[in-house]
Amino acid sequence: MMIEIRPAIEADLPQLLVLFGEFNPDDPPLSRATAEAVWARIAAQQGRTVLVAEVEGAVAGTADCVVMPNLTRGGRSVLFVENVVVAGAFRRQGVGRRLMDAAVRVGDAAGAYKVQLLAADDAYVHSFYAACGFEPLAQGFRRYLP
């Protein structure tokens, strides 16, 4: 299976929405106009790269990478990774690993001193990230807003 990792483009938006629907089935679907407006803001954001894994023309996975400038660590940035999703039909075939390798390269190219993410409380997910070279070094906290 040939897996191509590349930055997402607007034409990927319909397939990304299907993928996110699989990931979060309880989320209400976005209207086309809303999705396009959000995509325009994402595409314009400096330091933001949405990666897609493409297999035979299909978006098989994605990872959203955000470079955050930083005044510590000698001014080296931090790369945050969010919304790592692999379609069910493509799991356990190397898609997620290739996405995470590409995310680390994005951070390296940006001069980041670390790549950081939060993971669901799921043993399989934790073992996946560990296999990609990530270590569970901190307690994560989040507060959902209404």
CATH T-level assignment (fold) for domain 4-131: Aminopeptidase (3.40.630)
Q: What is the pTM of this model?
A: 0.93
Q: pLDDT tens, 4-14? A: 999 999 999 99
Q: pLDDT tens, 93-138? A: 999 999 999 999 999 999 999 999 999 888 899 999 999 999 998 8
Can you give the residue ranges of every domain in the chain? 4-131
Cα dihedral: 100, 102, 105, 107 (round 10): -60
In b/e form, how buried is each residue of 62-93, taking b as 16+ CB within 10 angstroms?
A: bbbbbbeeeeeeeeebbbbbeebbbbeebeeb
What single DSSP character describes residue 110? Answer: T
